[in-house]
Amino acid sequence: MQIIDNPNKSSWTTILKRPTQTVDDIETTVNKIFNDVRQKGDEAIKDYTSRFDGVDLQSNIVTKEEIEDAIKNVPEKLQNAIKKAKKNIEAFHVAQKTSKVDIETTNGVQCWQEKRPIVKVGLYIPGGTAPLFSTVLMLAVPAQIAGCEEIVLCSPPNKEGKLAPEILFAAQLCGVTKIIKVGGIQAIAGLTFGTETIPQVYKIFGPGNQFVTVAKQLATKFGVAIDMPAGPSELLVVADHSANATYIASDLLSQAEHGTDSQVILVSTSKNLISAVSDEVEKQIKELPRQAIAEKAIVNSKLIYIENNELALDLINEYGPEHFIICTKNEDFYVNGIANAGSIFIGDYTPESAGDYASGTNHTLPTNGFSKAYSGVNLDSFLKSMTFQKISKDGLLNIGETIELMAEAEGLQAHKNAVSIRLKDLK
């Protein structure tokens, strides 16, 4: 890992650059696949699945029999672990329910707000080198709690044309209504336009590689909402001399093993800790089954010495990490001061892995600095806030003149007339 000693603020932008391609590099590919799927539907989906996933599917719909077979292949201990994680995720997201907001803003004018579920949602679950069945829980659990009627899951098939049994087990456990064996850009395009087998949805959720991220952003041009831009995983740890170098190295590697385009950063006020973490990373990485992937990610990663906490916090807020771990004596300084981060993990015994799987918080989070403006997935992500109002005769008499004056000032005479005609009948 590259060690950077007390960088000047003017160099922070360069130092904190993510290892991602620009949109221009991949937008042409995404546009082509979108156009093909829009015009040819399932024919294009089948062609791209063959090309990118190396399998020719007779049908891309997961059958009831496939789900039943998959459940038999998930060990009981793992089934119980998934159920326990689901229970915690469920508890945290149920607690996010809010009551109806109801107020009389002025005499005779009643306004209220209610939340209603998004009827049709699409969940994208990455496959590839690590099928993320945990993401099924993170997306399907809140969708089910919200009351979404149609929950469509897309995930890329393996070379045998199957999805990981754990993905299917988690999907049926969480009320997914349809499971499609399709991944990548073509999956996002299918959910955007709809095909013979893939339902068109109103909002698409889920992480993915850079191609999936750009595909989701393109989907918004066709009237489909997305949860957030969520691309390659990233982690930033802030630590001082009191931190445990072994723990920190394990946290950095836990994210580095996600993919070659992941990025992990340590910001520390202790040069001795940086040296110890660097040694631990070299030692621990050799024991990982995904060593080759982690090593490539580590090339994009940095150990940064900053002389004081105030500067460190400024740098962290500038970066806006997806995951942020705090291992300092004065943890309150960072807890209270952090403005830009997807999810925060506090103390020596709160590894980021806990949030990835079973603590209860959601692991679908904004990356690439988007935590400056986006929230991670939560219950409200699957709901729409709708406002209602009911005005009595007295209410219209109370606010009618206000509306007339404002409408006339804006030059919108028909707006004024809609009130004036009613007021004439009431006076």
Closest CA to 236 of 133, 367, 110, 119: 367
Give the C-alpha distances (Å, rounded to integers) separating 267 from 4, 97, 228, 235, 274: 10, 36, 26, 11, 8
Q: Which residues fall in the annotated binding site for NAD(+)?
A: 124, 186, 209
For residue 391, what is the DSSP state? E
Distance CA(301)–CA(252), nearest Å, equals 9
Buried (b) or exposed (e) across 135-149, using 16+ Cβ within 10 A?
A: bbbbbbbbbbbbebe
The crossing angle, in degrees rounded to 10, of helices 393-409 and 413-426 is 150
Q: Which residues fall in the annotated binding site?
A: 124, 186, 209, 233, 255, 258, 323, 356, 410, 415
Distance CA(26)–CA(63), nearest Å, equals 34
To the nearest 10°, report the CA torsion of 374, 375, 380, 382. 70
For residue 366, what is the DSSP state? -
Chain centre to alpha carbon of residue 162: 25
Chain centre to alpha carbon of residue 248: 24
Q: Which residues fall in the annotated binding site for Zn(2+)?
A: 255, 258, 356, 415
Contact between 93 and 378 under an 8 Å Cβ cutoff? The reply is yes
Closest CA to 49 of 222, 190, 210: 190
For strand 343-346 and strand 2-5, is the pairing parallel, antiparallel, or unpaired? unpaired
SS (H, E, C) 243-274: CCHHHHHHHHHHHHCCCCCCEEEEEECCHHHH
CB atoms within 10 A of CB 55: 15
Tokens of 363: 């692991």
Annotated catalytic sites, by residue?
Answer: 322-323
